[in-house]
Amino acid sequence: MMGKNTTVQRWIAGPLLCGALGISACAVARPPVTTFSQTTTTVHTVPPYTPVELQLASEELSRARLAMDVREYERARILAEQALAYAQLAELRAESESSRRLARGLRLTSEDLRNQAARVSIASLPPLYPPIELRLAAEELNRARLALDMREYERARILAEQALEDARRAEVRADTESTRLAARDLRLRIETLRAETTRLAALY
């Protein structure tokens, strides 16, 4: 009797042990899917870096605009040419679609400014020595445009506000008609930029 019971127990225990080992082996062989997917997600969310050519193009364009504001047209043309060269290089080397769009926008703006400066003859204009308020307004407008190009909308709005105050002061204190007209033209451009930056700052 005891021999039969032992034999039956062995017949039952054998398949149970094999089944348990099979289940355990399947569990060990399962690949770590979760770890791989988390790593992949992290890689895709890393933001791209702005290429140095893009920043150089923005800076050169900013200087060209400042030269235009004080009627240094030949210098503005040269600076716009440099900005255009950097923007073209940035567009070619862009590693993301957003950087490529930004570089293209800078390229088109640099081309427009270069063409505008080339059309004006500095030889036919007397030298202009703007009052300090007018120069400050032009510099602040330039910085506001640069901040706008870099999509720093709130900073661009603040700079545009400061530029507008200086332009109004320059218009009031102007001692010649040409200075008054230059201050008025600058004020109108600043008001346009301020409205644009205010709208973008509210959106983003």
Segment (H or E) for 201: helix 177-203
Mean pLDDT across the chain: 75
Higher pLDDT, 38 or 18: 18
> 129 pLDDT band (50/70/90 cuts)?
low
Distance CA 134, CA 142 (A): 12
Same fold yes or no, 49-128 and 130-204 = yes
> 190 pLDDT band (50/70/90 cuts)?
very high
Residue 18 has pLDDT above 70, yes or no: no
Q: Could you tell me the two tokens for 127? A: 């030298």
Fold assignment, 130-204: Methane Monooxygenase Hydroxylase; Chain G, domain 1 (1.20.58)
Residue 164 has pLDDT above 90, yes or no: yes
Give the model's pLDDT for residue 72: 81
pLDDT in tens, 71-111: 888 788 888 888 988 898 888 888 888 888 998 999 999 98
CB 122, CB 72: distance < 8 Å = yes
Distance CA 164, CA 38 (A): 50
How far apart, in Å, are the Cα atoms of 113 and each of 43, 118, 124, 141, 146? Answer: 39, 8, 19, 15, 14
CB-count exposure of residue 141 (10 Å: 0-12, 13-18, 19+): buried
pLDDT mean over 151-158: 90
Residue 199 has pLDDT above 80, yes or no: yes
Widest distance between CA atoms in the chain: 127
User: Which pTM was predicted?
Assistant: 0.43
Q: What does the DSSP 8-state code read for residue 29?
A: H
Determine the residue type at 28. Answer: V
Q: Cβ contacts of residue 31 below 8 Å, gap of 6+?
A: none
- Any idea where the domains of the chain sit in the sequence? 49-128, 130-204
Fold assignment, 49-128: Methane Monooxygenase Hydroxylase; Chain G, domain 1 (1.20.58)
CA dihedral sign, ordered 22, 27, 29, 30: positive
Q: Could you tell me the two tokens for 200? A: 């973008």
Residue given tokens 């900073």 in the structure block = 155
